[in-house]
Amino acid sequence: MAKVLETHNITKKFGVTQVLKQVNFAIYRGEIVGIIGRNGSGKTVLLKILAGLYYPSTGKIKLVEDIENKIGVLIDTGFLPNKTGLQNLLIIASLCKDITKKRCYQLLETVGLDPFNKNRYKNYSNGMKQRLALAYVLMEDPELLLLDEPFSGIDKESVVVFRNLLLSLKKNGKTILLTSHYQEDINLLCDRVFEMDNGTLVEVQE
């Protein structure tokens, strides 16, 4: 399989605190890779570096050329609380190229949300919020998805929707890197698993 992303000796410090220590790993096209680890171990920081939201203190990230501008990131969401899900997507779509209103409707239906639901985002359940966030991630049809705790705090129905959607995306050739506290999701979805412990990343061997 061809590599999509590769890191070389990535480190990250915030002041005197070293959060990541010599992180080296690769992701291959069409696989789902999971990262497990306790809170504060460095998982989210690594994803933010891969997404370009943080710069590494040292080290390099290598992306294949056709992936560089096709990355979808589910880390922090900034949806407007007094707008509906559709309204939020349409606002984002107005800032992007070639994202139509029809595409926004389709994305909401894909993640199991009703485009005509008039509930405001602030009244959404955690599961609905995560579904909307995933719809946003998929807006520009990314080839690589970086998902930080996509199953955190959501209901069982949303978990099933997420699992099936991720497996469908993989079947269509997408590459996915996710973090999770939930071993069942990791076991069901991931081709390979890494553990982050105190800033060090090690592949978990079956």
Q: What is the pLDDT of residue 206?
A: 65
Q: Give yes or no for a contact between 135 and 108, defined as CB atoms under 8 angstroms apart.
A: yes
Average pLDDT of the chain, as a whole number: 89
Q: In sequence order, which ranges of the chain are alpha helices (DSSP H)?
A: 43-50, 85-93, 101-110, 126-137, 156-171, 183-189
pLDDT tens, 175-206? 999 998 888 888 889 999 999 998 999 998 76
Which domains are present in the chain?
1-70+144-206 (3.40.50.300), 75-141 (1.10.8)
pLDDT in tens, 60-81: 999 886 776 788 888 766 789 9
| Structure-token pair, residue 119 | 């509930």
pLDDT at 51: 87
CB atoms within 10 A of CB 16: 5
Residue 103 exposed, middle or buried by CB count within 10 Å (0-12, 13-18, 19+): middle
Six-digit token pair at 78?
A: 């900034």
Residue whose token pair is 């220590």? 21
pLDDT digits (tens, 9 = 90+) for 4-52: 999 999 999 999 999 999 999 999 999 999 999 888 888 999 999 998 8
